[in-house]
Amino acid sequence: MPSLGSDMEAGILVEWMKQQGEKVSRGDIIAVVETDKGAIEVEVFEDGTLAELLVQPGEKVPVGTPLARITGPKDTASTERRHASAPAPTPAVPMPTVSSVQGAEAAIQPPTVTTLAEGSRATPAARLLASERGIDLALVKGTGPDGSIVRRDIEEAAPRAATVPDLEPMRRAIAAAMSRAKRDIPHYYLGHSFDVSQAVQWLDAYNAAHPPQERLLLGALTLKAVALALKDFPEFNGFYGPDGFVPASAIHIGTAIAMRGGGLAAPAIHNTDTLTLAELMERLRDLIGRVRKGGFRSSEISDPTITVSSLGDRGVDMLLPIIYPPQVAIIGFGSVAPRAWAIEDAVAVRPVLTATLAADHRASDGHRGALLLRRIGGLLDTPEDL
């Protein structure tokens, strides 16, 4: 059972998405796990054969409990067990908190199904989703083995948007994590406003030369600027655990995304600093689409090294975010708005963006935090270099 948040103690295996004896490859979705924050797809992190299922659907087991045994191409029956779960966190440092999760992606037929009284065969996840959406299973055609009904059959029978999610468990989980963060983490806050004329002009010219599907949002530029700035300020990119601050070896920016029906998730865009703006926009567009449908993977929520939250599209000037433990920093962006701006001895109207930083005083100080924000502003002054 993977750790999908620093406050997670146990999870319920909802459904196996691969059958015993199937070949699996790194990145395959192998199971759906239910936590207080919702249902999450669990990936497998090695190639091999799913030799044995050790936990049955419906079982609640503690974090760290082996879920399955996977044998590699050269393994024999005596091969030691390897677990189908998320990667282990950095030693002595708990995995980053998941801000919230909701839903799970389409399922592949699990090894067991349940036969209902009306004669329909359906997996547990399919029955649960059908109940939530008020769908009569007798009217659904199953595409699983022997005509059994799987989750994707229910999703195709009625749009996911018709579901009204139960946000209470998610809200409780978020509130608990944020209460603990404010209690245990010595936050300090900084804000910095900067003229983004160069970024806006460059962005307008870039988008005018590209078709709609290839155009960029300002959010892609701010994410890349944050990622590049963190290379010079590693004390803001990592985790604080029992042994103190441990800097991360890569930059995985968690991006706060509002979910349909309410709730918030902050899955990671991995290796943000190495992506081109076009690649970053593609990843961002894909992530937003999947998260708003309630679908993302354990690897995307298990390892953000810092979080960026933007409410610019909501019209707010600035925000004061709370750090997601065990991360040590979170950056917020407000909206770009026309403001009176001093230019030498004159005053002009310029598009201005305000960035805020909430950081852990155990890992950094205000002097370095101020330099980080100034560096982000400087990078946005030369968008062609991003």
300 with 194, same domain: the answer is yes
Helix and strand totals (H; E) in the chain: 8, 20
78 with 197, same domain: the answer is no
152 with 192, same domain: the answer is no
DSSP result, 183-197? HHS-EEEEEEEEE-H
Domain membership flag for residue 210 = yes
27 with 129, same domain: the answer is no
124 with 176, same domain: the answer is no
Domain membership flag for residue 19 = yes
Contact 256, 178 (CB under 8 A): no
- The reported pTM is 0.67
155 with 211, same domain: the answer is no
Please state, in angstroms and rounded to a whole number, the distance separating the CA atoms of residues 207 and 210.
5
239 with 358, same domain: the answer is yes
210 with 307, same domain: the answer is yes
Q: Which residues, 6 or more positions from 247, have their beta carbon under 8 angstroms from its beta carbon?
A: 234, 235, 237, 238
Strands (E), 199-252: 238-241, 244-247
Domain membership flag for residue 2 = no
From 138, 162, 186, the end of a domain falls on: 162
Dihedral pair phi/psi, residue 201, rounded to 5°: -65, -45
CATH, residue 184: 3.30.559.10
Strands (E), 266-336: 268-269, 306-310, 329-333
CATH, residue 29: 2.40.50.100
Domain that holds residue 153: 114-162
Domain membership flag for residue 24 = yes
15 with 75, same domain: the answer is yes
Q: Which two tokens stand for residue 268?
A: 């990671």
226 with 343, same domain: the answer is yes
CA separation, residue 59 to residues 14, 16, 36 (Å) = 8, 12, 15
CATH, residue 146: 4.10.320.10
Across 212-240, b (16+ Cβ under 10 Å) vs e yields eeeebbbbbbbbbbbbbbbeebbbbbbbb
Domain membership flag for residue 97 = no
Total domains present in the chain: 3
The tens-digit pLDDT sequence of the chain (386 residues) is: 877 666 677 888 888 888 888 898 888 888 888 776 566 778 888 888 999 999 988 888 888 889 999 988 655 443 444 444 444 433 333 333 333 322 322 222 333 344 443 447 787 677 777 766 778 777 788 887 677 888 788 877 765 444 445 556 666 777 788 888 999 999 999 999 999 999 999 999 999 999 988 999 999 999 999 999 999 999 999 999 999 999 999 999 999 887 766 677 888 999 999 999 999 999 999 888 887 766 677 778 778 999 999 987 778 889 999 999 999 999 999 999 999 999 989 999 999 999 999 999 999 999 999 999 999 999 999 999 99
The pLDDT > 70 percentage for the chain reads 78
237 with 339, same domain: the answer is yes
149 with 278, same domain: the answer is no
